[in-house]
Amino acid sequence: MTGLATAFGIDTRLGDLQPEFWQAAGETLLMATTALVLGGLLGLALGLGLYLTRKGGLYAHRPAYVVLNVVVNFFRPIPFVIFVAALQPLARVVVGTGIGTPAATFAIVVAATFGISRIVEQNLVTVSPGVIEAARAMGASRSRITFGVLVPEALGPLVLGYTFAFVAIVDMTAIAGVVAGGGLGSFAQRFGFRQFDDVVMWASILALVAFVMVIQLGGNLLARKVLRR
């Protein structure tokens, strides 16, 4: 690769940086998938909480809804570059360290939880209230309605919503460098941007784009399979 770039008269250290590149790619993969899985589950729980406690919901409970709503509204708009730093003390308690990939992953999971909760809530709202009423009329319990009707009925849009959220998660992994979390974003910044090495930078970008595209494609296929309508 370096040979080719040198042949075109481009000065790049990408060849020498290959171990760092693959390590960074691994970190991004780890942070993003952990955030998608954990943040996805927690976001689902929080989103269900928002949806179910709202007025007219199966577990309608105004105080609970107000608290959840305020918490989500408070944390969601915080720019991640600040959020990751602000969450350091909590990261020390939860993952044992305030820096590195674990600390960054922790912050991404928390941020993803809040972000995904809104996506989940919005998708659940699209489920026909009539279908829920029908399930109630059949004598189904609230938990059966939640997991046997509500979530399956919203699954198609939920998969698309999660795919959408994944792009935002990848975006957040690029900021992990703030707490020395590593990842491709940080790699691109350190060895590409600061060293004026465009090849390194673009190699990182292409890797990220490829990563997102694969996930997007997978999400679309899965959603189509789930929808089958």
Residues contributing to the site for another protein (CB under 8 A): 128, 130-131, 133-141, 144, 148-149, 152-153, 155-156, 226, 228-229
Could you give the CA distance from residue 13 to residue 6 in angstroms, rounded to a whole number?
A: 10
Whose Cβ is closer to another protein: residue 23's or residue 122's? 122
Whose Cβ is closer to another protein: residue 89's or residue 139's? 139
Write down the least CB distance from residue 36 to another protein, Å: 22
Q: Label residue 69 exposed, middle or buried (CB < 10 Å: 0-12, 13-18, 19+).
A: middle
> Where is 56: in which H helix or E strand?
none
**Residue 117 in contact with residue 46, Cβ under 8 Å?**
yes
Whose Cβ is closer to another protein: residue 35's or residue 48's? 48
- Looking from the CA of 2 toward its CB, the CA atoms found within 13 Å total 9
Write down the least CB distance from residue 97 to another protein, Å: 42
Whose Cβ is closer to another protein: residue 144's or residue 194's? 144
Whose Cβ is closer to another protein: residue 9's or residue 130's? 130
Q: Which residues neighbour 59 within 8 Å (Cβ) at sequence distance 6 or greater?
A: 52, 53, 142
Whose Cβ is closer to another protein: residue 27's or residue 153's? 153
Could you give the CA distance from residue 112 to residue 93 in angstroms, rounded to a whole number?
A: 19
Write down the least CB distance from residue 60 to another protein, Å: 13
Write down the least CB distance from residue 78 to another protein, Å: 33
Could you give the CA distance from residue 139 to residue 107 in angstroms, rounded to a whole number?
A: 42
What secondary structure does DSSP assign to 78-89, as a single string? S-HHHHHHHTHH
Could you give the CA distance from residue 8 to residue 58 in angstroms, rounded to a whole number?
A: 65
Write down the least CB distance from residue 224 to another protein, Å: 13
Write down the least CB distance from residue 136 to another protein, Å: 6
